[in-house]
Amino acid sequence: MSELIISSSPHIRSNDSSRRIMIHVLVALLPATLSAYIYFGVRSLVLTAVSIAACVISEYGIRKLLKRDMTIQDMSAVVTGWLLALNLPPQLPVWMAVFGGFLAIVLVKQLFGGIGQNFMNPALTARVILLISFAGPMTRWAIRGDGADLITTATPLALLKEAGGRVLPDMPKYIDLLLGNVGGCIGETSALALLLGGLYLLVQRVISPVIPLSFLGMTLLFTWAAGGPSGIFTGDGLYHILSGGILLGAFFMATDYSTSPITTRGKWIMGVGCGLLTGVIRLFAGYPEGVSFAILIMNILVPLIDRYTLPKPFGTPKKGGGTAHA
Amino acid sequence: MHGKKWVNKGVHPSHHKGTHDCMSQKITLPDRILMPMQQHIGAPCRLLVARGDRVKVGQLLGKAEKYVSAHVHSSVSGTVSGITALMFPAGNRVETVEIIPDGLQEMWEGISRPKHSTPEEFLQAVADSGLVGLGGAGFPAHVKLKAPPGKKTELLVVNSAECEPYITSDYRECMENAEGIIDGIQQILDHLSIPQAIIGIEDNKPEAVHKLRKLIQKDPRITVQILKTRYPQGAEKMLIYSLTGRKVPAGGLPLDVGIVVMNVNSVSFLSSYLSTGIPLITRRVTVDGNIVARPGNAVVPLGTPVGRVFEFCGGFTREPAKIIMGGPMMGTALYSLDMPVMKYTNALLAFDAKAADRGKETSCIRCGRCVEVCPMDLIPAAINQAALREDVDQLLRLGSINCIECGCCSYICPAARNLAHSMRLAKWQLKKASAKEGSVQ
Ligand code: SF4
Ligand code: SF4
């Protein structure tokens, strides 16, 4: 008889794997990608494909270079590339997407040790670097007009800001926000598609509802309270959470495992923090949109949040010194 | 009624309780018996026999001399053919008596019905019986039952949760010997003046609930409570919390909240011991796994080589890659089929290479699943990292010592990280560190 395997318990494992989780995320991105194709045309698909390729090739290259185990099979680089693309404007030059993918993987993810180790969201960090480096192309929005060509437009949030928080008759309607018939990044415009994807992630238990709920809830509350044209509690909070990158951010970016807190209490703090910062930036800063910055700021705070939300082991007395680690 | 608390932690491994309806079958005598002097948590016994001695069924082979220890008795009549130092899976060696059975199964003259009229006599009888926790833990029963001075036992919790996959040993006891279980409980309540008992049983065993409930109608002290099927529902601290809402303090024992927990098989064994005086020399073992020809429940003389038990169940249909003593979540992988069945062996499982494969360990993706399932509210991912760095301060801060080694974290981890293993490593590092500190002072 051949040797028996000696290993410590448990001897069985659930059939979940990192790769399966990543594939769930990819599936959840399909609706938003489809809506992008409808409103921004085939160019959105090209950008997405290029960004994914850039990420996967970068990961392959740097793992080889650093002589580490190959990790592209876990599909996380595909997720990063795809998410980056969805955070880019539809008319961005292709080489910028390649550059972004390279930044996301090499600078943000791999130099910190790879999956699970990076403390800022790779796709978002790359996006913000691109935004700062190429402000023009990164803020040029366009949408398919009546013909096949894209025509320049403004994002709903920019219009809202200009109008002092008032939803004017010539601005996009709720239905446009739901379907994605508005200017914006490739994957952020259709609220419906993003909600569908988010729901899929929740049902598959890839993410917990805590961060999306608290993020969206907080921004809704804040913009309703402080974003109105005629005083407190006159803002259109719903318009706010249906426009811009907030749904993409709340379901797909702020929930990124590597860069969000590990405990449920921590996740509440993350979500509320993101929601509040998004609201503040949107209403009071120079930019109409604040989701990326809000999430990145919270990313930096995650180690701190984790430290202060460390749960007490079962059976530790609620009050007093107790024996947390006796 | 469902358990009161503790509903959102733990995991749901597939049950695999295919041996539910397999009546217990006595296996035929093996041609060799191995009796380790330590089949319990605690100190090993002092060996009482020597090579060439003739021994009988129920004869004392090893005497428990330390406070936490339990006697070892012979399960056969025969001749001691040698004393060896058997290597256990943990790597330690245990003094072991090897006996060649003569097939006569002659009873030892020393066996008689134990006296048990006072609490002291009762506890002495429990000690004499050699009983240890039969649910897999193997803690000496008389030590457990004895309330330390100043503490009073208010409740006996009888554990029939049997939350590990595959194992049906407790369930079979409920189906085949419900009377014995109830009698055992009543004896313990009577003798130790414990006012009440709760039998905790998972909701996937309705027949057993029905059977037990019928028998307790006349005894208001005993209730049967149904628990949600979830692993590790049968872990002492979780079981107590589910049944009573009481939390055993971190680092404490059930007695700190006035509770003693015993396995169903343990209480029914006590009932039989008090009426016959035959000590713990056989036990029921669930034999299963994906390569066992005829899975079932076998009643096995202690000391029977594991391979012999599998043979009794038709042998293997494919080459075994892993043999587990106990359940798949907390059991021990054996290095050899020659290891004997011991007092705490509730199951023997055999798997082929495919079923034994847990997958390759990859980087933690911080998904938080291990945190979600940990019944002790720990952060396994962080303890894992700290243990790999040997960061003792961090291990302390993370409360690693509270881990009950249930394995939920490793079970759920999508990166196949050996989290439970690193918990053991962490505890060991903490122990080493505190020993060092002690020697400096
Ligand atoms: S379950 Fe595994 S991958 Fe997820 S956080 Fe825990 S250790 Fe990391
Ligand atoms: S850390 Fe310990 S108690 Fe928590 S799930 Fe893992 S093995 Fe169980």
Q: What is the pLDDT of residues A257-298, one digit of tens each?
A: 999 999 999 999 999 999 999 999 999 998 888 999 999 999
**Rounded-to-integer distance, Cα A10 and Cα A268, Å:** 32
**Rounded-to-integer distance, Cα A24 and Cα A7, Å:** 31
The answer to whether residues B264 and B400 belong to one domain is no
**Rounded-to-integer distance, Cα A244 and Cα A213, Å:** 17
With respect to residue B386, please indicate whether it lies within any of the assigned structural domains.
yes
With respect to residue A62, please indicate whether it lies within any of the assigned structural domains.
yes
pLDDT tops 80 at residue B8: no
With respect to residue A6, please indicate whether it lies within any of the assigned structural domains.
no
Specify whether the CB–CB gap between B83 and B59 falls below 8 A.
Answer: no
With respect to residue B361, please indicate whether it lies within any of the assigned structural domains.
no
Domain that holds residue B375: 369-437
Structure tokens given for A315: 């059976």
Amino acid at B409: C
The pLDDT value recorded for residue B170 is: 94
pLDDT tops 70 at residue B438: no
**Burial classification of residue B350, based on how many CB atoms lie within 10 Å of its CB (0-12 exposed, 13-18 middle, 19 or more buried):** buried
Structure tokens given for A30: 């399909």
**Mean predicted confidence (pLDDT) in A30-38:** 96
Chain A residues closer than 8 Å to B409 by CB:
none
With respect to residue B197, please indicate whether it lies within any of the assigned structural domains.
yes
With respect to residue B220, please indicate whether it lies within any of the assigned structural domains.
yes
Domain total in chain A? 1
**Mean predicted confidence (pLDDT) in B336-354:** 96
Does ligand 1 have an atom closer than 6 angstroms to the CB of B388?
no
Q: DSSP letters of B17-57?
A: -TTTT--EEEPPPPS-EEEES--SSSPPPEE---TT-EE-B
Select the residue from A8, A76, A211 to test the B interface by mutation, using most B Cβ atoms within 10 A: A8
Q: Is A68 on the interface with B (CB under 8 A)?
A: no
**Rounded-to-integer distance, Cα B352 and Cα B349, Å:** 10
* N-term to C-term CA, chain A: 46
Pairing of strands B282-288, B296-301: antiparallel
For A11-20, A139-148, A215-224, which range has the lowest pLDDT when averaged over its residues? A139-148
Question: Using the 8-state DSSP alphabet, how is residue A75 labeled?
Answer: -
Cβ neighbours of A34 (radius 10 Å): 15
The pLDDT value recorded for residue B352 is: 95
Identify the H or E element spanning A4. Answer: none
Residue of A nearest to B400 (CA): A325
The answer to whether residues B149 and B266 belong to one domain is yes
**Rounded-to-integer distance, Cα B342 and Cα B62, Å:** 14
Q: What is the dihedral of CA B135, B139, B142, B145, to 10 degrees?
A: -70
With respect to residue B392, please indicate whether it lies within any of the assigned structural domains.
yes
> pTM for the full model?
0.93
The answer to whether residues B251 and B389 belong to one domain is no
- Predicted confidence (pLDDT) per residue in A102-135, tens digit: 999 999 999 888 888 888 999 999 999 999 999 9
Of B178, B137, B173, B158, whose CA–CA distance to B286 is shortest? B173
Share the mean pLDDT of chain B. Answer: 93
Question: Using the 8-state DSSP alphabet, how is residue B74 labeled?
Answer: -
Whether residue B368 and residue A18 make contact (CB cut-off 8 A), yes or no, is no
**Rounded-to-integer distance, Cα B378 and Cα B406, Å:** 12
**Rounded-to-integer distance, Cα B281 and Cα B56, Å:** 12
* N-term to C-term CA, chain B: 54
Does ligand 1 have an atom closer than 6 angstroms to the CB of B408?
no
With respect to residue A58, please indicate whether it lies within any of the assigned structural domains.
yes
Touching B: A residues 7-46, CB under 8 Å = 7-14, 16-18, 20-21
- pLDDT band per the 50, 70, 90 thresholds, residue A319: low
Residue of B nearest to A258 (CA): B366
**Mean predicted confidence (pLDDT) in B90-105:** 94
Pairing of strands B259-263, B222-227: unpaired
The pLDDT value recorded for residue A287 is: 85
For A275-289, A311-325, B261-275, which range has the lowest pLDDT when averaged over its residues? A311-325
Counting one residue from chain A and one from chain B, the pairs whose CB atoms sit within 8 A come to: 176
The answer to whether residues B141 and B260 belong to one domain is yes
pLDDT tops 70 at residue A323: no
With respect to residue B347, please indicate whether it lies within any of the assigned structural domains.
no
Whether residue B358 and residue A11 make contact (CB cut-off 8 A), yes or no, is yes
Cα–Cα distance list, A318 to A32, A313, A322, B249, B256 (Å): 45, 10, 8, 11, 17
The pLDDT value recorded for residue A200 is: 98
- Predicted confidence (pLDDT) per residue in B9-45, tens digit: 899 999 999 998 999 999 999 999 999 999 999 999 9
pLDDT tops 60 at residue B300: yes
**Mean predicted confidence (pLDDT) in B247-252:** 90
Cβ neighbours of B118 (radius 10 Å): 10
Nearest CB to B250; choose among A14, A18, A323: A323
Specify whether the CB–CB gap between B419 and B381 falls below 8 A.
Answer: yes
Beta bridge partners of B138: none
Domain total in chain B? 2
Structure tokens given for B396: 């302390």
- pLDDT band per the 50, 70, 90 thresholds, residue B103: very high
Ligand nearest to the CA of B420: 2
Chain A residues closer than 8 Å to B363 by CB:
71, 114-117
Nearest CB to B323; choose among A2, A4, A306: A4
Q: What is the largest CA-CA distance in chain B?
A: 63
In percent, the amount of chain A with pLDDT more than 90 equals 79
Does ligand 2 have an atom closer than 6 angstroms to the CB of B406?
yes
Identify the H or E element spanning B324. Answer: strand B322-325
Touching A: B residues 362-401, CB under 8 Å = 362-369, 371-372, 375-379, 381-382, 396-401
Specify whether the CB–CB gap between A206 and A24 falls below 8 A.
Answer: yes
pLDDT tops 90 at residue A326: no
**Mean predicted confidence (pLDDT) in B222-237:** 93
With respect to residue B10, please indicate whether it lies within any of the assigned structural domains.
no
- pLDDT band per the 50, 70, 90 thresholds, residue A147: low
**Mean predicted confidence (pLDDT) in A215-237:** 93
- Report residue B1 CA to chain centroid gap: 27
Helices (H), A6-153: 18-40, 42-65, 76-86, 94-102, 122-133, 135-138
Domain that holds residue A110: 16-307
* Domain end residue (candidates: B276, B308, B341): B276
Q: How far is B164 from chain A (nearest CA, A)?
A: 11
Q: What is the dihedral of CA B436, B392, B408, A79, to 10 degrees?
A: -150
Structure tokens given for B36: 């380790």
Touching B: A residues 207-236, CB under 8 Å = 208
Q: Cis peptide before A90, with omega less than 30 degrees from 0?
A: no
Pairing of strands B24-26, B296-301: parallel
With respect to residue A24, please indicate whether it lies within any of the assigned structural domains.
yes
Q: Classify the complex by whether its ipTM is higher than 0.90, answering yes or no.
A: yes
Whether residue B379 and residue A263 make contact (CB cut-off 8 A), yes or no, is yes
In percent, the amount of chain B with pLDDT more than 70 equals 98
The CATH number of residue A42's host domain is 1.10.3430
- Predicted confidence (pLDDT) per residue in A46-64, tens digit: 999 999 999 999 999 999 9
With respect to residue A326, please indicate whether it lies within any of the assigned structural domains.
no
Cβ neighbours of B396 (radius 10 Å): 17
With respect to residue B285, please indicate whether it lies within any of the assigned structural domains.
no
Does ligand 2 have an atom closer than 6 angstroms to the CB of B376?
yes
**Mean predicted confidence (pLDDT) in B419-435:** 92
pLDDT tops 80 at residue A317: no
- pLDDT band per the 50, 70, 90 thresholds, residue A322: very low
User: What three-state secondary structure class fits B116?
Assistant: coil
Of B138, B166, B160, whose CA–CA distance to B239 is shortest? B160
- Ligand 2 pocket test target in B373, B383, B395, B423 with most atoms within 8 Å of CB: B423
How far away, in angstroms, is A142 Cα from ligand 2 center?
Answer: 52
Whether residue B396 and residue A71 make contact (CB cut-off 8 A), yes or no, is no
Q: Cis peptide before B232, with omega less than 30 degrees from 0?
A: yes
- Predicted confidence (pLDDT) per residue in A234-256, tens digit: 999 999 999 999 999 999 999 99
Amino acid at A191: A
**Rounded-to-integer distance, Cα B263 and Cα B283, Å:** 13
